[in-house]
Structure 1
Amino acid sequence: MKILWVDDEIEMLKPHIIFLTTKGYEVEVATNGYDAIDMIKEQRFDIVFLDEHMPGITGLQTLPLIKEQDASIPVVMVTKSEEENVMEEALGSKIADYLIKPVRPSQMLLCLKKVLENQRLVSEKVTTDYRQSFMGLSDQINACVDIEDWKRLFVKLEKWEVELADGGDSTMDEVLAMQKKDANQAFFKFVQNNYQDWHNGGIHNFSLNSVNAISKGVFPLLDQSKKVFMLVIDNLRFDHWLALKDLIQMYYSVVREDVCCSILPTATMYARNSLFAGLTPNQIATMHPDCWVGEDEEGFKNLHEETLLLRQFERYKRTEGVQFVKASNALTGGKVMEHYSKIKQADFSVLVINFIDMISHARTDMEMIKELASDEAAFRSLAKSWFEHSQLRELLEKLSEDDIHVVLTSDHGTSRVKNPVKIQGEKNTNTNLRYKLGRNLKYPSKNVYEVNRPNDIGLPHPQVSTKYIFGRPYDYFVYKNNFSQFSATYHDTFQHGGISLEEMLIPFVVLSPK
């Protein structure tokens, strides 16, 4: 175990360091907070002992800088002061423990065992609990008969994934990955067998989904005379929400943690337009042709979201004032805060932010981002880091102070693709890797959900012979020309448009100001 001890009087602590060394600990030292931060940037420590009273920057000032570099590292505050405000500030900053000077070597050894053993025990408990739940989850996969069953199962799987990544062992990570793969394969068959029936039965009356999310999830809040702010983060998966949850709960209480089912294709031009219109894509194209740009047409596909939202309010005879803001830059700050007075005054306001979608695309194109978001756990960490340092946090704090409720959701999630599937199509076939539409498509039928009559699932059909196909979990479509090159380019990237738990089942969270 490697300890970093930060104290401006470190020379006086040599006996303590020697004692810990004889007990098998490796001890590195720093005499000020700045040096400590530099050392944490360069190497990994298991625990930090941090003196509160130091020249330059104090221990309390150093603590958040340490957490910024490595949020998981336990920090023990060492102080001469027992003043209540000092302890409250340290504990509020999530220290692992604190010691009052003068510190005896035996106290330090006890503290080390308590903190580090606690981490080990938590890790072992998470692993044991998942092992005990494994068979029950497997039975639940086989027992899912409707979309609500799948939502409940998916939430459990995502929570286990986050818990195991934070505190379990890599063996259990692999077991869970296999279990999620089994669940995804079964979910694909479930969607294949039931998706058309959902639309025939009336997607507006179906379980919470892209089409009815605002009418079922937002209008009831407005009916209670609550001001509502809707935050739509493109590509936000349910596990991303779990990663952000602790940060958001600093300002808000979670009153509803639900799952919304994205329509097919799980792509922005379909799912997000449907979210704001409260209509299926085919209904939008028919009822609002001025707001629909087809796949084969030039132009941006999501330019009319605000218009579609206002028309949905008109259709439901809603009279609330609406404010709509779209931001694509990483911090979202300037543009959003410029509009804050209007957001505050509006009965219902919407912010669309594309940053996580930008990470997904950049991960495909940039090797550095691919390294930073190498897997689901790293992707969650990157999303959390972005949120923590963005001005969305400031925005949520202000919204909470002004007693404005928040609905957090997305248009669709993403699937980490592994398996290239050969496909042939005409030149005007769309470019998405997880779904295709067009004429004369050739593909292995067992690898897709095929829809020959798009109207049956609420989709436009540009030509009479147009069909849609949707990829299975983990698959991506690659043309035969340059197959090896393109399959290598897109292997292990995060894509959307097809059928998987991660793409279709997205967070819908209602938050109440604290």
Structure 2
Amino acid sequence: MSAIQILWVDDEIDLLKPHILFLEQRNYNVTTCKSGSEAIDVLETEKFDIVFLDENMPGLTGLETLNELKAKQDNLPVVMITKSEEEYIMEEAIGSKIADYLIKPVNPNQILLSLKKNLDHSRLVSEKTTSSYQQEFRKIAMDLAMVNSYEEWVNLYQKLLYWEIQLENIEDPSMFEILESQKTEANTQFGKFIEKNYADWFLPNTEAPVMSHTLFKEKIVPELSKEQPTLLVVVDNLRYDQWKVFEPIINNYYKKEHEEAFFSILPTATQYARNAIFSGLMPSDMEKLYPQFWKNDTDEGGKNLHEEDFLQAQMKRLNLDHLNYEFHKITNLRTGKKLVDNFKTLKDNDLTVVVYNFVDMLSHAKTEMEVVKELASNDKAYRSLTLSWFKNSPLFEMIQQAQQLGFKLIVTTDHGTINVKNPSKVIGDRDTSLNLRYKTGRSLTYEEKEVLVFKDPKEVHLPSINMSSSYIFAKSDSFFAYPNNYNHYVSYYRNTYQHGGVSLEEMIIPFSVFLPK
């Protein structure tokens, strides 16, 4: 690694020889100047990593020199050194974006500390993160071998996500590869756990996690009151890691009361999971009780056009008719902006539900559009894209307005999504459903080791398209591909974001409650 280049500007530079020797012994290269004008000339021809600048010099003052240096090289870190503690000098210097501020007399260790703080910060953070994850790695590996309940799976998944977000900022790809292999192993084990336990969660007197169809009654209803309006935001297709990257922005306006994870039902697809949230019912019950609202995979027309009708029926069933509520679904920028413009009119509602479809559009667009496919080529890029969207979205404006109007805020989703990598061959008749992560139909042929199968849909409260229908779900990061036109299909869909199957990313999803600051 090449030595750090320091420019030190002080009219009494000769008195600083011991400091300069101290730095040079530690592999720093120091160039000295006795005046501001000399420093500006030197900067024309040489490159530096950092500048130490005396504030009190004859000729050009330190502040004047600072302005000149910044005009030439705005991102060059400058450490101001001064005898004076006068407030106006500090304010001037800080306003001019100095990197650090030292009061004379400075000792060599202060200089070294300032260098480490300003130049080695990212390296030190990287080293600390790497060593912390290395310590945690063994513990996660042990947990993976032992995990045996849905609570433990939530904890393990949250731990993996924490490290994924920490490690994405360091320049050590080997650590990231180790984490990726742990995530792959975790999804393999999670698939086995779901295979063993999922059907039992619907049996009477069995301990089960909060799931899509129980979320509203168990978690949302207790938050509702006539004393404070509530804004419930359901961001379609929002993974836990995506939520974690834009949550800090919400924290500027809201204080988090509590957060917990819940489980999406299978299939982890909008028509099943989101309808289950708003109806409070599993799909087979929706089909039986509300045939006018429910559509199966092979039926013509939109599959989730009746969420508001399902919500109305559930509110009535739970005796919540006394609450005023409105339901809004945002599917494009225009409807989002329109709701922002009229948001103040919602303050008299006890509950305002906003379903925001953007992340779903983004993930589907990733399949369709090469540009988006490039922009979201991996999970890190996908998180970054989601963050950029949120900062500039009408949803963010709604949340800011909600805070000003005193709304309680609940943010959740219907299911997550996973970047699919491995094709799994499947054969079905022409009535087989089209989703890449689950299939329902009769006479399905598939790779048994790669799927979760429910031969009797009633066992998991799913509707049967015909008498001999079964359901299969892709596990981990696989996706279904038909043998005919196989290569084209695989190259088109590999490395796209899909949902409907069994993975930590699709099934374990956030539910967060906030109060306005």
Which category of TM-score, normalised to the shorter sequence, fits these structures? 0.7 to 0.9
Output the CA distance in 1 between the equivalents of 2:200 and 2:373: 39
2:302 to 300, 310, 321: 300
Partner of 1:189: 192
Q: Which amino acid aligns with 2:414?
A: D
C-alpha displacement of 1:440: 0.9
Partner of 1:467: 470
Partner of 2:249: 247
2:361 to 358, 365, 389: 358
1:165 to 151, 163, 168: 168
Detail structure 1 runs of 4+ shifted over 6 Å in the superposition: 19-23, 49-54, 73-81, 84-91, 106-110
- Contact (CA 8 Å) 2:279, 2:314: kept in 1 or not? yes
C-alpha displacement of 1:50: 13
Q: Which amino acid aligns with 1:156?
A: K
1:341 to 338, 341, 344: 344
2:430 aligned with 1:427: yes
- Contact (CA 8 Å) 1:332, 1:392: kept in 2 or not? no
1:25 to 23, 46, 49: 49
Residues 390-401 of structure 1: pairs in structure 2 closer than 5 A:
390-401=393-404
Partner of 2:409: 406
Partner of 2:238: 236
1:133 to 133, 136, 144: 136
Three-state SS of the structure 2 residue aligned to 1:381 is helix
2:311 aligned with 1:314: no
Output the CA distance in 2 between the equivalents of 1:51 and 1:247: 37
Output the CA distance in 2 between the equivalents of 1:340 and 1:362: 29
C-alpha displacement of 1:257: 1.9
1:298 to 1:282, Cα distance in 2 relative to 1, 3 A:
same
Residues 270-285 of structure 1: pairs in structure 2 closer than 5 A:
270-285=272-287
Q: Which amino acid aligns with 2:324?
A: G
1:113-150 deviation digits (Å, cap 9, x = unpaired): 42221222111111111100111111111221111110
Q: Which amino acid aligns with 1:376?
A: D
Q: Which amino acid aligns with 1:216?
A: E
Partner of 2:288: 286
Output the CA distance in 2 between the equivalents of 1:148 and 1:129: 24
Q: TM-score, normalised by structure 2?
A: 0.82
Q: TM-score, normalised by structure 1?
A: 0.82
1:161-197 deviation digits (Å, cap 9, x = unpaired): 0011123621111100000111000000000111110
Output the CA distance in 2 between the equivalents of 1:221 and 1:431: 38
Aligned residues: 466
C-alpha displacement of 1:89: 9.9
Output the CA distance in 1 between the equivalents of 2:332 and 2:174: 38
Three-state SS of the structure 1 residue aligned to 2:385 is helix
1:88 to 1:199, Cα distance in 2 relative to 1, 3 A:
farther
2:220 to 193, 218, 223: 218
Residues 104-119 of structure 1: pairs in structure 2 closer than 5 A:
111-119=114-122
Partner of 1:504: 507
- Contact (CA 8 Å) 1:267, 1:496: kept in 2 or not? yes
Identity in percent = 37
Output the CA distance in 2 between the equivalents of 1:74 and 1:469: 57
Output the CA distance in 2 between the equivalents of 1:51 and 1:489: 57
1:175 to 1:74, Cα distance in 2 relative to 1, 3 A:
farther
1:14 to 1:331, Cα distance in 2 relative to 1, 3 A:
farther
Output the CA distance in 2 between the equivalents of 1:433 and 1:488: 14
1:256 to 240, 255, 258: 258
Output the CA distance in 2 between the equivalents of 1:418 and 1:241: 23
C-alpha displacement of 1:338: 3.7
- Contact (CA 8 Å) 1:233, 1:354: kept in 2 or not? yes
Output the CA distance in 2 between the equivalents of 1:398 and 1:371: 34
Three-state SS of the structure 2 residue aligned to 1:477 is strand
C-alpha displacement of 1:20: 11
Output the CA distance in 1 between the equivalents of 2:391 and 2:465: 43
1:159 to 1:446, Cα distance in 2 relative to 1, 3 A:
same
C-alpha displacement of 1:356: 1.1
C-alpha displacement of 1:342: 3.6
Output the CA distance in 1 between the equivalents of 2:64 and 2:301: 57
Coordinate RMSD, CA, aligned: 3.6
2:390 aligned with 1:387: yes
Partner of 1:477: 480
2:126 aligned with 1:123: yes
Partner of 1:198: 201
C-alpha displacement of 1:110: 6.9
1:327-375 deviation digits (Å, cap 9, x = unpaired): 1224764222144134322111111111111111111122211111111
Q: Which amino acid aligns with 1:276?
A: F
Output the CA distance in 2 between the equivalents of 1:482 and 1:147: 39
2:514 aligned with 1:490: no
1:76 to 1:494, Cα distance in 2 relative to 1, 3 A:
farther
Partner of 1:36: none
C-alpha displacement of 1:151: 0.6
1:225 to 1:150, Cα distance in 2 relative to 1, 3 A:
farther
